[in-house]
Structure 1
Amino acid sequence: MTPGEGPGATLSDVLPAAAAALGAPQRPVDLALPGAARVVVLLVDGLGERQLAAAGRDAAFLGELRADGQVLTVGHPSTTATSMASFGTGLLPGAHGLVGYEVMDPARGVLLNELSWDPAVDPRAWQPAPTVFEHLVAAGVACVHVGPHQFAGSGLTEAALRGARYVAARSLADRVDATAAAVRRAPRSLVYLYWGELDKAGHEHGWRSEAWRRELGDVDLAVRELGRRLPPDTLLLVTSDHGMVDVPLARPDLADPAEAVGDGLAVGVPVSGGEARAPMLYCAPGQAEAVAARWRERLGPGALVLLRDDAVAAGWFGPVAPHVLPRLGDVVVACPPGVGVHDSRTQRRQLTRLVGLHGGRSPEETEVPLLVVAGARTG
């Protein structure tokens, strides 16, 4: 399997392709799937294609599926909130508008954390485009979302994934049970199952850690079990929202007083958003070009540091809607390998202790697998 199979296919194509497989096409996609009466989509948070390729016996069953799978790319930044909106709406980030972990809310002049959300922001106004789930329900397809209790009705769920009936379940085994039951309740259905513990293990311990490998092994067994329990007219898809890189803990922090003077990274940057691998810099008036030059010099030749208009012109976010443009930083950064930049002025200090990070534009972060099981799997 090589990048580019399924020409130009992205994570935003998965649910539109599933809709076409169910006989309810939403839009044309470059991703072709076999027809099915029912579809199950398992999204494993943090399972990048490069990480899966290196997993070996820790993911024997997924490895078998990978041999016939495809490689998708995710939008910028390669982070959960952005990718979940691309997945749920079938749109690229510049269209759906969830353009980072933390982004500027132009109406209030403060950052919005698009993962944890803020009750002051109406998620349906922030992201008004219909989701693929809403399209399918209108077409007569029963849609179910299986995930953790705390995500039911959350801001991100409402913005990116609304339309499906939510079923809360705690453990991976419980979610497999709930998915297997839900898919049988209707002759034409789509069930979406989310699992986030692999991403958590990678953040806390790194994706090469024993904890990460154990969690991947649990996912591998769960996919095998789920495949055994689905009706024969069901298509099972396994994908992810991003990959991950391990980054040394010695990282610049804009909260460091030394970064606020001279050629420091905080000079001219009263507010930064994004995250460590993909900072978005909201600059003081007239300072964007000087800030970009400082960041390029400091981060080195592997860094991508673009003014907002240049990032948009380069297609980082896909076509950008006018109402989304002010959410983007004046300077948009993709850090080079092994580098992350924090801003504890606004971000939780716990983030500085994370080993595994994502958000950047490396293949390790942006390539994700699409694994397909057609019909019940008994192997």
Structure 2
Amino acid sequence: MTPGERLAAAGLSVPDYGGLELGAVLPGALAAVGAADAVAARDAEADRVRLGIPRAEHVVVVLIDGLGHRQLDARKGHAPFLRTTESAVITAGFPTTTATSLALFGTGRASGATGMTGYTAHNPRTGAAANLVSWDGADDPERWQREPSLLRTAHEGGLAVSTLGKAKFAGSGLTRAALSGGEFVGRARLAERVDEAIRRARTPGLTYLYWGDIDRMGHKHGWQSEAWTAALEDVDQELRRLRARLPRHAAIVVTADHGMVDVPGAPRWDIAAEPSLARDVRLVAGEPRMLHLHTDDAAVAPAVAERWRGVLGADAAVLLRSEAVALGLFGPVVADHVEDRIGDVVVAMAGRATVVDSRTQTPEAIALVGVHGSLTREELEIPLLVAYDG
């Protein structure tokens, strides 16, 4: 099989980079408020038109962590506002994980350019794995991620820009890496963030609002749980209130960073218990749905890939780094300084299967009910909602 055939046989798809994708959302929103010049790496006005974002004096961009289109569609009876407002289905990037997606959102560039190649990623300077959410083991954020933050560029160009999130994220590594710029306003509750967004929407500018509870409930209980559904209902209610109280000439754009699959009862391998998976692999990075396998000698990568294919079979697409890059999984360009953060072998899981590593992962991490990272439609497809009364 060719690499593309292996991907298709596993039911996996390449993100729609340059088309209907998460990287177009913030550029399109900036173009809508007259700040297209803040986006140098892509055509922001084309993004605006493609996504159907109207010109407005103020745009509130809401990113709901973990709200995949497939999950929303399955629970649409619990989300009347979101159900009736969804205007398109777009794709996240690869891997379908928060650090990667927030960098794609914040810069308009895929992980091959940003170097945000997974939940954890190989740090070539140390040889160890860096956590790109907590930032443990990673380098200085501006050195690790070199693409300009669109929020910062827009703010420096004179646009009023604000970010609404947890106060502790104001100076976090991930925020500094991809979402810095403008004023960071710490608010704990979603209702408080919505109130602040309504207030800021009275004057021209752009407000970015992040909410993470749906993802948290999905990881802990699964997206099919009552807890996840309750979190969805809360979001739907607050976003309906935001829409109702938004001033005229202000628009709301809602999207997400990835979807999710529930994995109890699905195939799972533990590298610690499978010698053939551990052989010749120095470092495993990524996460259970998408793994980077790093070796001490790239010459052994083809043999590693073949062994993994033999063990995982139809439950994964196992690719060499060169094959994954050629397929465009990490975007149209992989920068030289990013290449070594991608595994010599890249493993994208199919269905609901996972690979864990009890040598390095905690029992709590291994026991997560809902996970993401691969390229199934459940993980890759995310909603786009645009509302405007101007």
Q: Do the structures match in fold with TM over 0.5?
A: yes
Aligned counterparts of 1:120 and 1:277: Cα–Cα separation in 2: 21
Cα 1:152/1:7, change in 2 over 3 Å: closer
Match of 1:200 in 2: 216
1:181 Cα offset (Å)? 2.1
| 1:48 corresponding residue in structure 2 | 68
- 1:302 offset after TM fit, Å? 4.2
Q: Residue 253 of structure 1 is aligned with which of 251, 260, 270?
A: 270
| 3-state SS of paired residue (1:218) | helix
2:271/2:278 contact within 8 Å kept: yes
- Residue 231 of structure 1, CA deviation: 1.0
What residue number does 1:219 align with? 235
Equivalent position to 1:100, from 97, 118, 126 = 118
Shift of 1:345: 2.3
Pair 1:316 & 2:332 matched = no
- Note the C-alpha offset of 1:6: 11
- Classify 1:6/1:253 alpha carbon distance in 2 versus 1 (closer, same or farther; 3 Å): closer
Alignment gaps of 5+ in structure 2: 1-14
C-alpha contact 1:299 1:336 (8 A) present in aligned 2: no
Matched to 2:160, the amino acid is A
Any conservation in 2 of the 1:6–1:71 contact (CA below 8 Å)? no
**2:130–2:138 contact (8 Å) kept in structure 1:** no
The counterpart of 2:96, out of the listed 75, 78, 83, is: 78
TM-score by length of 2: 0.90
Partner of 1:243, secondary structure, is coil
Cα deviation code 1:344-367 (max 9, x no counterpart): 322333111111110000011001
CA distance in structure 1 between the aligned counterparts of 2:183 and 2:122, rounded to whole angstroms: 31
Q: What is the alpha-carbon distance in structure 2 between the residues aligned to residue 61 and residue 209 of structure 1?
A: 20
Q: Is the 8 A contact 1:142 1:190 kept in 2?
A: yes
Contact 2:315 2:353 in 1 (8 A): no
Q: How does 1:35-184 map to 2 (within 5 A)?
A: 35-66=55-86, 69-118=87-136, 121-184=139-202
1:80 aligned partner, one-letter code: T
Instruction: Pick closer, same or farther for the CA change 1:298–1:252 going to 2, 3 Å.
Output: same
Alpha-carbon spacing, 1:6–1:82, altered in 2? closer, same or farther (3 Å): closer
Picking from 51, 60, 64, the partner of 1:31 is 51
Whole-angstrom CA distance in 2 between matches of 1:181 and 1:91: 30
What is residue 367 of structure 1 aligned with on the other side? Answer: 381
CA contact (8 A) 2:165 2:193 kept: yes
User: What is the rounded CA distance, in whole Å, between the counterparts of 1:6 and 1:119 in structure 2?
Assistant: 29
Q: Tell me the CA shift for residue 128 of structure 1.
A: 1.8
Q: Does residue 319 of structure 2 align to residue 306 of structure 1?
A: yes
Matched residue type, 2:322: D
1:206-355 maps to which residues of 2 (within 5 A)?
Answer: 206-248=222-264, 251-256=268-273, 259-260=274-275, 264-285=276-297, 286-318=299-331, 319-355=333-369
Deviation at 1:152, TM superposition (A): 1.2
Q: 1:60 to 1:361 in 2, by over 3 A?
A: same
Which string of whole-angstrom CA distances, capped at 9 and with x for unpartnered residues, describes residues 170-214 of structure 1?
A: 111111122222333xx3211111100000111111111111111
Report the alpha carbon displacement of residue 139 of structure 1 after superposing the two structures with TM. Answer: 2.5
Q: Which SS does the other structure have where 1:269 is aligned? A: coil
TM-score, normalised with respect to structure 1: 0.92
Task: Report if the CA contact (8 A) 1:36-1:235 is conserved.
Answer: yes
Secondary structure at 1:301 match in 2: helix
Ranges of 4+ aligned residues in structure 1 off by more than 6 Å: 4-7
Q: Residues 6 and 31 of structure 1 are in contact (CA less than 8 Å); yes or no, is this contact kept in structure 2?
A: no
Write the distance in 1 (CA, Å) between the matches of 2:139 and 2:383: 33
Partner of 1:8: 19
What is the aligned length?
365
Q: What residue in structure 1 maps to residue 12 of structure 2?
A: none
Rounded to whole Å, the distance in 1 between the matches of 2:362 and 2:206 is 37
SS of match in other structure, 2:25: helix
Match of 1:350, as an amino acid?
A: E
Give the 3 Å change call, closer, same or farther, for CA 6–330 of structure 1 in structure 2.
Answer: closer
Q: Deviations over 1:289-321 (max 9, x none)?
A: 111111112112241100001100110001101
In structure 2, the residue corresponding to 1:203 is in which secondary structure? helix
Q: CA RMSD in A?
A: 1.9
The residue matched to 2:268 in structure 1 has which SS?
coil
For residues 5 and 360 of structure 1, what CA distance do their matches in structure 2 show? 14
Cα separation, 1, equivalents of 2:181 and 2:362: 32
Indicate if the aligned counterparts of 1:49 and 1:367 stay in contact, CA closer than 8 A: yes
Letter aligned with residue 235 of structure 2: V
* Structure with the higher helix share, 1 or 2: 2
Secondary structure of the 1:274 match is strand
Measure the CA separation in 2 of the matches of 1:44 and 1:11.
12
CA distances 1:319-373 after superposition (whole Å, capped 9, x unpaired): 1011100111110010110201112322333111111110000011001011001
Q: 1:123-172 deviations in whole A, cap 9, x for unaligned?
A: 01111221110221123211111001221110000001011311111111
Does the CA contact (< 8 Å) of 1:5 and 1:70 recur in 2?
Answer: no
Change (3 A) 1:52 1:188: same
In structure 1, how many angstroms separate the alpha carbons of the residues matched to 2:217 and 2:379? 16
